[in-house]
Amino acid sequence: MEPRKFRTLFISDVHLGSKAAKADFLLDFMRHHEADTIILVGDIIDGWRLKRSWHWPQAFNDVIQKMLRKARKGTRIVYIPGNHDEFLREFPGTHFGGVEVARQMIFEAGDGKKYLIIHGDEFDVVVRHARIVAYLGDWAYDAAIAINQVLAFVRRKLGLPYWSFSAWAKLQVKHAVNFIGEFQRVVVEEARRNEVDGVICGHIHHAVMEELDGIRYINTGDWVESCTAIAEHFDGTFELITWQKIEEAAPAAEPTDDEALPPFLAAPRSGKRAA
């Protein structure tokens, strides 16, 4: 099966370093999808998890190698760090192995529309205290963003893990939906402040494409539970892809030389097997 070709692919929240990371699924996805540009929207590597206990199976290397191989072959790869890989935030503008690191970016789609691309954790404090912030107005918003940075810095210095939105939202089951809604509202507002048509983010592990008050809200989801990516077609339209049914991707009937592997790891005949 020939890989599907896109203008851009957006991937976030892979959490390599965590046992829950679905690296095999992502690897299979990357074999079946190509793009001129791949934008990594944060939390690709879970530095915090790695600090607590080292978990790095071969599949995680395979994902990194596949990315670097794509970069060598001419795919533009931009890495926008999230809170779990914030160590990379200290290197904006740098390149490693052909991968550009950026704190955030304004992305121009194939149809000329502009999108703010951010991981999304910048707004955690705003989201957690949405009611107070809304009541106090603009200065409270700016203060909350600043507090967010200070808290992240202090927690890092103390060796504490970054506060996890998704884990926290799950604990607050009854209110989780509201918090997701609040997160969407806040990042859409940020897009409006940047005078763009939409926002593409990750962080809350909840993939969706929506229109909110005339601003496009796109969330890339994650590769811990849902295995989702956002793909941009050449005409600037977006598609949410879920890559959980791996048997769809690799036709099982034809025997291949890597038959010993489970079907979802076996490359299709026409495809190239990754190093």
Binding region for Mn ion (CB under 5 A):
43, 82-83, 121, 203
Task: Give me the least distance between CB of 19 and Mn ion, in Å please.
Answer: 17
Task: Give me the least distance between CB of 258 and Mn ion, in Å please.
Answer: 34
Q: Which of 244, 225, 231 minimizes the C-alpha distance to 8? A: 231
Task: Give me the least distance between CB of 188 and Mn ion, in Å please.
Answer: 18
Judge whether 31 and 274 are in contact, CB under 8 Å.
Answer: yes
Backbone angles phi, psi at 5, to 5 degrees: -110, 135
Task: Give me the least distance between CB of 8 and Mn ion, in Å please.
Answer: 20
Task: Give me the least distance between CB of 134 and Mn ion, in Å please.
Answer: 23
Give the full edge-to-edge strand order of the sheet including 76-79.
95-96, 99-101, 76-79, 33-40, 4-11, 228-232, 238-242
Cβ closer to Mn ion: 35 or 224?
224
Cβ closer to Mn ion: 15 or 216?
15
Cβ closer to Mn ion: 70 or 203?
203
Cβ closer to Mn ion: 185 or 203?
203
Cβ closer to Mn ion: 86 or 232?
86
Q: Are strands 4-11 and 95-96 parallel, antiparallel or unpaired?
A: unpaired
How many helices and strands (H and E) does the chain possess?
A: 9, 12
Judge whether 119 and 41 are in contact, CB under 8 Å.
Answer: yes
